[in-house]
């Protein structure tokens, strides 16, 4: 195949490429290219703090639609910030959230591209029984419903991340998220305990779950180009 397959990512900080002064924080969109050969190109448009609404209102979706073409893919992952109360970001799960997501789907399809929905990744919030708590509420249900209504492939990252985090447990998941001791990183001299954003190791594990979903859903031709990546993660 001579033509590159382009995968555009529309999303929030969990996927976004991080500036050097924020490292070792890493978005899964930064590292997912490692799972594919050079003929699959990822264009990561994810932006920190954006919801399905603000991403559109600020013109980020239009930038994608100006570039995306027939046979390309648009991966769509929002929900972390849609529950925020301020008008610029807030959406209602079953009305405006679905409506905004539909704009991404229709925009991709109009260009001859293939939309793919991804539910939000869970935060590192465990209950007393070691089970992950759902901080995304009905946004997960709404996206699953929209996937069925519009016949869009869905990679259920909330389910995948829940199973993965519960398997690791509260202590080992600190390696997945941005947990640093004081003095461990020049960018975080006082340390940090972030239960939303990922370490580099964590981003690779989340990207692996995305790739797993691509294979499970038989999203062609992407699933045919996946490279086996083995990391010595020591989890």
pLDDT band at 3 (very low <50, low <70, confident <90, very high): confident
Q: What are the tens digits of pLDDT across the range 103-154? A: 999 999 999 999 999 999 999 999 999 999 999 999 999 999 999 999 999 9
Bridge-based pairing state of the strands 192-198 and 177-180 = antiparallel
Task: Give the pLDDT mean for 172-201.
Answer: 96
SS (H, E, C) 109-163: HHCCCEEEEECCCCCCCECCCCCECCCCCCHHHHHHHHHHHHCCCEECHHHHHHH
Mean residue pLDDT of the chain comes to 95
Give the model's pLDDT for residue 153: 98
Q: Is 170 helix (H, G, I), strand (E, B) or coil?
A: helix
Residue-range domains of the chain with CATH: 5-224 (3.40.50.1110)
Active-site annotation, residues:
13, 190, 197
Q: Do the Cβ atoms of 116 and 74 come closer than 8 Å?
A: yes
Element (H, E) at 99: helix 98-110
Give the model's pLDDT for residue 224: 93
């Amino acid at each position: 195949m001579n033509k590159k397959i382009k995968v555009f990512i529309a999303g929030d900080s969990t996927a976004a490429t991080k500036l050097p002064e924020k490292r070792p924080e890493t978005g899964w969109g930064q590292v997912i290219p490692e799972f594919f050969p050079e003929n699959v190109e990822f264009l990561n448009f994810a932006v920190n703090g954006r919801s399905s609404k603000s991403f559109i209102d600020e013109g980020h979706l239009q930038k994608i639609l100006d570039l995306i073409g027939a046979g390309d893919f648009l991966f769509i992952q929002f929900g972390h910030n849609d529950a925020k109360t301020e008008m610029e970001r807030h959406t209602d799960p079953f009305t405006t959230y679905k409506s905004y997501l539909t704009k991404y789907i229709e925009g991709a399809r109009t260009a001859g591209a293939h939309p793919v929905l991804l539910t939000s990744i869970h935060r590192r919030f465990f209950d007393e029984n070691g089970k992950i708590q759902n901080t995304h509420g009905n946004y997960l249900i709404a996206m699953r419903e929209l996937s069925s209504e519009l016949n869009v492939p869905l990679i259920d990252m909330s389910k995948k991340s829940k199973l993965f985090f519960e398997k690791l447990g509260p202590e080992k998941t600190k390696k997945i998220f941005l947990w640093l001791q004081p003095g461990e990183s020049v960018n975080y001299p006082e340390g940090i305990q972030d239960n939303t954003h990922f370490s580099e190791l964590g981003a690779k594990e989340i990207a692996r779950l995305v790739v797993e979903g691509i294979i499970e859903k038989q999203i062609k031709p992407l699933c045919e180009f996946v490279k086996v990546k083995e990391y010595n993660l020591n989890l």
